[in-house]
Amino acid sequence: MPAATEPAPHDPPRGQADRPLDADARRIAFVGNPNVGKTTLFNKLAGLRAQTSNFPGTTQEARLALDRTGTLPPGSRFIDLPGTYSLTLDTGEARVTRGTLDGSTAPRGEQVEAPSAVCVVLDACDLPRGFLLLGEVLRTRLPMVVAINMVDSARRRGIRGDEEELARRLGCEVVVCSGRSGEGVEALRAALGRARIPIDGPRGSQEALEQWADELAIDIFAAPESDARQSLTDRFDRAFTHPLSGLTIFAAVMTLLFWSIFKLATYPMDWIDGAFGWLAGAVGGALGDGLISQLLADGIIAGVGATAVFLPQIVLLFLLIALIEDTGYLARAAFVMDRVMRPFGLNGHAFVPLLSSHACALPGIMACRGIPDRRDRLAAILVAPFMSCTARIPVYVLLVSLLFPGRPGVQALAFTGCYAIGAIAGLLSSLVIRRTILRGRSRPMLLELPEYRPPQLGKSIRLALERGMVFLKKAGTVILAISIVLWWLGSFPQGSDAPSPDAPTTQTAPAETLAQDAPTDSDDIAPAPATYLERLGSIAQPIFAPLGYDRQLTVGVLASFAAREVFVTTMAVTVLGDEDADIADEGVLRALSSADRADGSPLFDTPTTWSLLVYFILAMQCLPTLAVTAREAGGVRWAFVQLGWMSGLAWVLAAVTYQSLSLIGAS
């Protein structure tokens, strides 16, 4: 194949094709089906300078990059849009792609206007698959270049495409390239600088578009017949989708994944923890004992540090998931899970949204738009927040570390168990939902199974680092703000007659008393709380007393409704707020593990810690998730159903856990 093919001369529609585009900086949108190597190609063009940006009001993301090679006019930008099979589908990916091309939306930071050119990326091994989308983009009448990607792979497999004929039929440049090897990438960049409006697209109905795509496929594409003989891919597929071996492999992969996260992330976590501890000590030492010093050391540094310490685990989680997805295994795992999920009223289409919910429930719930059946979709939306998101990781790490100190193997197992409990609770909840408010059977699953291939480390690392940056930004903004507010609530009013936060108070009655007479009558025993935070905790504490939570833990649970990870921050600020030396010398995690209640008993005794773990696995502790549920499910009532069911279940099971362990004398 030649590196680039010039189009045959054609009549430029409406006289726009001859309009010179070099005068202005270009905004070039990249469009393509999933699994066509679009992002790899984009990375090759953009280098290491891409940034991730979401579309307003959605969790759909685009990647943005400036061209700095000088090939394109200064200020020219690339926009990598999400992969979609068609512009007309009712999915988030299709909506933002459609909106970007018609100029009605744009990623944050970008001007809301139609791009000056579109690069349609096709898979050289499977050109016909992209022709529907190609025809739809043609209808937009935007300047266009077609990139036939992964041409090296197509050559190896003896697949041929007539790109000259394609260029002639479309009236735009067609470039063959490989994002992996870099072949043709500079030719593509140059072609994008010459992008021109192609021929008028296929008009009429969807059938007319399909017929156009079919005819194009017949005329320009040829591939050898599929070999009916058994191949290595068949053997892998059989092993990965087999009822027994498939499930065993899936369980092993997930356990290895979480073990790796725990084992490998330990060292950078210690460094970050130590660095924040040192910083808090240094600031405290330099500024002396004053309000500003307390704000910086106890509020900002301790609060942000307590969350930022989990950055290595989050980056590692995304890295490993990206690597696994890149191999092609994840789609097979979806079918393994389809078999598991279908009896519970969910299907395999929900697997990827639910897996995404392990990163964050928001994109997971948004991804549910891709589930064709309404009842299947609603069921998946309602149970998605049961999946353990990254916001829970700091809480899990803290509580699991407290339960099994110095035993990384057991910690990894417990960590996997947390994820398993969340997933099982989600499945059982779906079963209840499908037998009550959403009766009916789920739709059968249909999914493309990508080719097995070695993962691309560079691409995965880039993705993981971008996700890490998003997390850091959150730590630097939302968490920072919450840390300051919590510090203020925990430190004021000052100079009153009320006792200090460390004054002995008895927030919870002994376990044996609680088992019989919850809630506690703590306020009859304890003096009036000193700070606003303690007052809030006092009001709500009786509700959580059967779960074993004292005033401080109640405050942590309440504060974490804004964002789950805030629980750790809250504990760091409220429990360790007056213990600069501990933060500096021992680190936040270790200092928390030795914290006591006002009555001198351990704050995190065994029944309470287990109870907290159960509560945080199951409870709906995320305001943004409720907002997205209301929007995606089509009504606030669904958000209330989600909140009531999840938090009610969490309260009951956490109470059962605490009371049971207290009864058998666990300490």
Q: In the complex, which residues of this chain contact other proteins (CB under 8 A)?
A: 85-86, 89, 125-129, 132, 154, 157, 159-162, 165, 210, 214, 217-230, 233-234, 237-238, 241, 243, 331-332, 334-335, 338-339, 342, 347-348, 372, 443-449, 451
User: CA 18, 19, 21, 23 torsion: positive or negative?
Assistant: positive
Residue 451, phi-psi category: left (phi > 0), alpha (psi -120 to 50), beta (remainder): beta
Rounded distance, CA 317 to CA 416, Å?
A: 13
Which residue's CB is nearer to other proteins, number 340 or number 661?
A: 340
DSSP, collapsed to helix, strand or coil, labels residue 122 as strand
* Nearest Cα residue to 2 out of 155, 223, 164: 164
Which of 213, 302 has the CB closer to other proteins?
Answer: 213
Q: How many whole angstroms separate alpha carbon 667 and alpha carbon 658? A: 11
**232 versus 664: smaller Cβ distance to other proteins:** 232
End-to-end CA distance of the chain: 72
Nearer to other proteins, 20 or 224 (CB): 224
Dihedrals φ, ψ of 77, to 5°? -130, 145
Beta carbon of residue 599, minimum distance to other proteins (angstroms, whole number): 57
Q: Give least dist CB 149 to other proteins, A.
A: 14
Report residue 323 as tokens: 């690597």
- In the complex, the smallest distance separating the C-beta of residue 10 from other proteins, rounded to whole angstroms, is 21
Nearer to other proteins among residue 89 and residue 630 (C-beta): 89
Of 332 and 369, nearer to other proteins (C-beta) is 332
Contact 142, 55 (CB under 8 A): no
- Closer Cβ to other proteins, 100 or 347, answer by number: 347
Distance CA 458, CA 43 (A): 10
Q: Which is nearer to other proteins, 67 or 325 (CB)?
A: 325
Beta bridge partners of 144: 118, 196
Please name which of 375, 481, 480 lies closest in space to residue 437, comparing C-alpha atoms.
Answer: 375
Nearest distance from C-beta of residue 263 to other proteins, angstroms: 33
Q: In terms of Cα–Cα distance, which of 464, 428, 435 is closest to 321?
A: 464
In sequence order, the β-bridge partners of residue 175 are 4, 147
Element (H, E) at 146: strand 144-149
Sheet containing 61-66: give its strands across: 4-5, 173-176, 144-149, 117-123, 27-32, 77-80, 61-66, 51-54
Closest CA relative to residue 434, chosen from 386, 383, 472: 383
Closest distance of CB 340 from other proteins, Å: 11
Name the one residue in this structure whose structure tokens are 């976590």.
269
- What is the smallest separation between the CB atom of 163 and other proteins, expressed in angstroms? 10
Q: DSSP H helical segments within 1-65, as ranges?
A: 38-46
CB of 124 to other proteins, least distance (A): 9
Least Å from the CB of residue 241 to other proteins: 6
d(CA 483, CA 296): 10
Q: At its nearest, how many Å lie between other proteins and the CB of residue 210?
A: 7
Residue-by-residue DSSP string for 297-335 = IIIIIHHHHHHHTTHHHHHHHHHHHHHHHHHTHHHHHHH
CB of 658 to other proteins, least distance (A): 41
Distance CA 21, CA 27 (A): 11
* Cα gap 66→237, rounded to integer Å: 41
> Are 321 and 260 spatial neighbours (Cβ–Cβ below 8 Å)?
no
Q: Which is nearer to other proteins, 138 or 166 (CB)?
A: 166
Long-range CB contacts (within 8 A, 24+) of 162-165: 162/219, 162/220, 162/221, 163/1, 163/2, 163/5, 163/220, 164/2, 164/5, 165/219, 165/220
Min CB(167)–other proteins separation in Å: 14
Pick between residue 11 and residue 225 the one whose CB is nearest to other proteins. 225
CB of 104 to other proteins, least distance (A): 23
* Nearer to other proteins (CB atom), residue 194 or residue 342: 342
Of 253 and 470, the one with the shorter C-beta distance to other proteins is 253
Measuring CA to CA, which residue among 651, 647, 639, 653 is closest to residue 620? 647
d(CA 389, CA 417): 14
Structural contact between residues 260 and 252, judged by C-beta atoms closer than 8 angstroms: no
Q: Which residues 6+ apart lie within 8 Å of 286 measured at CB?
A: none
Which C-beta is closer to other proteins: that of 221 or that of 262?
221
Q: Which is nearer to other proteins, 57 or 204 (CB)?
A: 204
| Dist. CA 535–CA 523, nearest whole Å | 11
**Angle of helix 457-474 relative to helix 38-46, nearest 10 degrees?**
80
Least Cβ distance, residue 221 to other proteins (angstroms): 5
Query: Is 82 or 556 the residue whose CB approaches other proteins more closely?
Result: 82
The CB-of-459 to other proteins minimum distance in angstroms stands at: 22
Q: How far is the CB of 97 from other proteins (least distance, A)?
A: 14
Rounded Cα–Cα distance for residues 536 and 529 (Å) = 9
d(CA 589, CA 595): 10
The CA distance from 394 to 399, in Å, is 9
Q: Which is nearer to other proteins, 85 or 532 (CB)?
A: 85
- Least Å distance, CB 232 to other proteins, is 12
CB closer to other proteins, 148 vs 584: 148
Give the shortest CB-348-to-other proteins separation in angstroms. Answer: 7
